[in-house]
């Protein structure tokens, strides 16, 4: 199991190593095949190891909006980097708690990948009283859930900046 801090570090290493935080670019560089399919209304995507081809595949619901597809690929990359050794189909049958933890970790990875600190640092988005996760999601075209995760990760930093902005009478308008 990983801590949120460790997941942030892994996501940053991936970004630095591949010089990109774009999930489609990363998938291509990692030789992970993205297979768009109609997966219905309940499944956004899933990661699969194809033993015969010795490749990983991301099955992606082609009914999703572009930003949801990006988030889904980022989430599945989270499973790739964090949970390759788990048989997730077996996990789903045996432990709801473990499954929930793995999904939460993949979501945290997706948030850190799509909203890296370097992207948010210049605008103080999570550190400002004036921008909510809703506005961050809209500005960076990511699902609200990921913006909420990122802001929750930065909550301590956010509290510090709010206090500093209040004491220094700074107003941040974006």
> What pLDDT score was predicted for residue 97?
63
Whether 73 and 47 have beta carbons less than 8 Å apart is answered as no
pLDDT tens, residue by residue, 95-154: 566 778 999 999 999 999 999 988 877 655 555 555 689 988 999 999 999 999 998 887
> What pLDDT score was predicted for residue 154?
74
Instruction: Indicate if the pLDDT at residue 171 is higher than 50.
Output: no
Residues whose CB is less than 8 angstroms from the CB of residue 14 and which lie 6 or more positions away in sequence, other chains included: 26, 77, 81, 113
Residue 139 or 156, more confident: 139
Kindly provide the residue ranges of all beta strands, DSSP E only, lying in the chain, ordered along the sequence: 33-37, 45-50, 55-61
Using a pLDDT cut of 90, give the percent of the chain over it. 60
* SS3 (DSSP) at 149: helix
pTM: 0.82
pLDDT tens, residue by residue, 8-25: 999 999 999 999 999 999
33-37 and 55-61 strand pairing: parallel
Task: Provide the CA 150 distance to its chain's centre, in angstroms.
Answer: 9
Whether 76 and 46 have beta carbons less than 8 Å apart is answered as yes
* SS3 (DSSP) at 165: helix
Least confident of 42-51, 87-96, 97-106: 87-96
Catalytic residues: 76
* SS3 (DSSP) at 121: helix
């Amino acid at each position: 199991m990983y801590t949120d801090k460790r997941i942030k570090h892994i996501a940053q290493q991936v970004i630095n190593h591949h010089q990109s935080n774009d999930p489609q670019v990363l998938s291509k560089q990692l030789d992970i095949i993205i297979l768009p399919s109609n997966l219905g209304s309940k499944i956004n995507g899933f990661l699969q190891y194809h033993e015969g081809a010795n490749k990983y595949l991301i099955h992606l619901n082609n009914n999703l909006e572009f930003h949801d597809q990006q988030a889904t690929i980022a989430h599945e990359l989270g499973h790739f980097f964090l949970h390759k050794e788990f048989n997730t189909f077996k996990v789903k049958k045996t432990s709801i708690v473990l499954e929930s933890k793995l999904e939460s970790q993949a979501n945290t990875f997706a948030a850190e990948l799509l909203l890296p600190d370097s992207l948010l640092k210049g605008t103080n988005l999570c550190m400002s009283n004036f921008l909510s996760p809703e506005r961050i999601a809209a500005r960076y075209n990511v699902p609200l859930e990921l913006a909420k995760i990122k802001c929750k990760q930065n909550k301590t930093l956010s509290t510090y900046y709010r206090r500093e902005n209040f004491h220094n009478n700074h107003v941040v308008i974006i």
